[in-house]
Chain A
């Protein structure tokens, strides 16, 4: 059910608080790349995608694959806020603990409502293409969204799948690159430059759109443009800020794969009032 921008912004704030609390409780995890993806994942689950959290295996649902599986906290928090039965809000703080459904990376064995188990980078777009081709064979109008990390597109398989997506004209797939500029070892440009990102996707035959990945109306517009684009898939290159929403985490490579300390959790939650 579509929501107003104000409602979506309020959900984004709750999701950011969830991410901080759950990674803080876990004492490990990937808060930075979870925070950068909040607006996009919230927009998809709370506004744009045709899904029914009470009927997660509805055959005509839209699909979302978090190919950058290490950003699991944002997906867990959003699914919990959206009300899927297998992602209870009360359990979010069990993230990464033995027996928790909130595994370190998304795992369909623990959360059947997930579309895919991810965590090994580079694989999600291939899976998305397969799901989308299957939907096309069945004449279903559902769409498949896949979020990739910017560092992730250093994986060769991403470009194998980019080539295949254009060749097979899989226009019911949308790839979204969370271009926050930071990967584990530091700034992407210092580890392995990926620019020009949009040009690369265009060169592979995709329609590419560049947006501010924290601007909800811009995300909505891009998703509509992607849906209106026929005969080729669309890549949304979303310029984002790693650690977005928490001043000391923003653009700080440390918070790619380090959880906030208890003091940092308290500070962050103050900022996210």
Chain B
């Protein structure tokens, strides 16, 4: 459902907030939904679930490895466990447990990282997760999701609960612009063409989707028709959407709030290389740790706003000619 009208930034809920609210809805619908949290429930927003379903909420304390293990055990007992903490701690400290206790035995575990990327802001680099997409995608059989806004989060959390198998969902701290109408349909592994375009494709996810849409409108005024593809599922990738975009436009930009060394960009580039090679540019974090600051200031300073996406598009379009 491409966006036809002029896109205007209207802030919606943070994706972590949408996650927390959706968990409560799921909890009401299915008694097998259980939640584990590692002393961050007031930040990950699993606190809503904890208040309504205290018996199905397990406070694990500051012990992410143990939390992932317990959640995997709950899955083996037939529950649908959501284990949540900041992405920075959850994916790194719980990685080995995700690998051995969930990925390898194909356990029905759901892991939700919040406060992902540098947009956590003031807390600084120790809390900033700029590598967890790479780690998540290296877990065999995991589905890896990165929603753009509250509508996407609500839909993808529901799809994750319904999916049989391990899932990681990347959410963020700040409020983000509303991208989708409430009735937008989502499907795991099926990208959404948010903006139609024929000169270049921008493949993007998370809070960069809104920035890419804004960039496409600036570019349109310059006579560049940019297609914006929301790759909300990082794994498994929608290979056909990537191939078609590369073949039809002949130039591609990938933008993400993540290290460019190992995130969405390299995964998309692999598909492009295999199917329809074309010039590509990458917007993301370039081999650095960020710093404290307000989220907007950081996104601006580290090159993750519409201006940066547009610049990458101009560069890649020039290479095409």
**Of A118, A122, A131, the contact of B73 (CB 8 Å cutoff):** A131
Q: Which residue of A lies closest to B109 (CB)?
A: A130
The answer to whether the Cβ of B61 comes within 8 Å of any Cβ in the partner chain is yes
Asked if A161 and B69 make an inter-chain contact with CB atoms under 8 angstroms apart, the answer reads yes
Cβ contact of A127, chosen from B61, B69, B79, cutoff 8 A: B69
Any B CB within 8 A of the CB of A222: no
**Chain A interface residue number, banded:** 20 to 34
Assuming A131-B77, A160-B65, is B105 touching A126 (CB within 8 A)? no
Q: Verify if A208 is at the interface (C-beta below 8 Å from B).
A: no
- Name B66's closest neighbour in chain A (CB-CB): A160
Residues of B within 8 A of A127 (CB): 69-70, 72-73, 76, 101
> When the two chains form their complex, are residues A133 and B58 in contact, meaning their CB atoms are under 8 A apart?
yes
B69 in contact with A123 (CB, 8 Å): yes
Complex contacts, A59 vs chain B, CB 8 Å: 78
A248 within 8 A of B: no
Q: By CB atoms of chain A within 10 A, which of B68, B70, B97 has the most?
A: B70
A129 contacts the other chain (CB 8 A): yes
Binding site secondary structure of chain A: helix
> Which of chain A's residues 128-174 have a Cβ closer than 8 Å to chain B?
128-135, 137-138, 156-157, 160-161, 163-164, 167-168
With A127-B73, A127-B101, A133-B73 as given contacts, are A157 and B66 in contact (CB-CB < 8 Å)? Answer: yes
In the assembled complex, A229 has its CB within 8 A of some CB on chain B: no
Instruction: Please report which residues of chain A, range 34-65, place their CB below 8 angstroms from some CB of chain B when the two chains form the complex.
Output: 59
In the complex, A119 has a CB within 8 A of chain B: yes
Contact of A126 among B61, B69, B78, B81 (CB under 8 A): B69
**Are A134 and B55 CB-contacts (below 8 A) given A109-B105, A160-B65, A164-B66?**
no
Residue of A nearest to B60 (CB): A164
Q: B97 — which chain A residues lie within 8 A by C-beta?
A: 123, 126, 157
Question: Which residues of chain B are near A128, meaning CB under 8 Å?
Answer: 73
- CB of A18 within 8 A of chain B? no
Minimum CB–CB distance for B120 against chain A, Å: 24
Interface residues in B12-68 (C-beta closer than 8 Å to A): 34, 55-56, 58, 60-61, 63, 65-68
Other than the given A119-B100, A168-B58, 5 more pairs (CB < 8 A) read: A116-B101, A127-B70, A129-B70, A164-B63, A167-B61
* Top 6 A-B residue pairs of the complex, sorted by shortest distance between their CB atoms: A130-B73, A134-B77, A126-B69, A160-B66, A160-B63, A127-B73
10 contacts between A and B (CB under 8 A): A109-B106, A116-B76, A122-B65, A123-B97, A126-B68, A126-B69, A126-B73, A130-B77, A134-B73, A134-B78
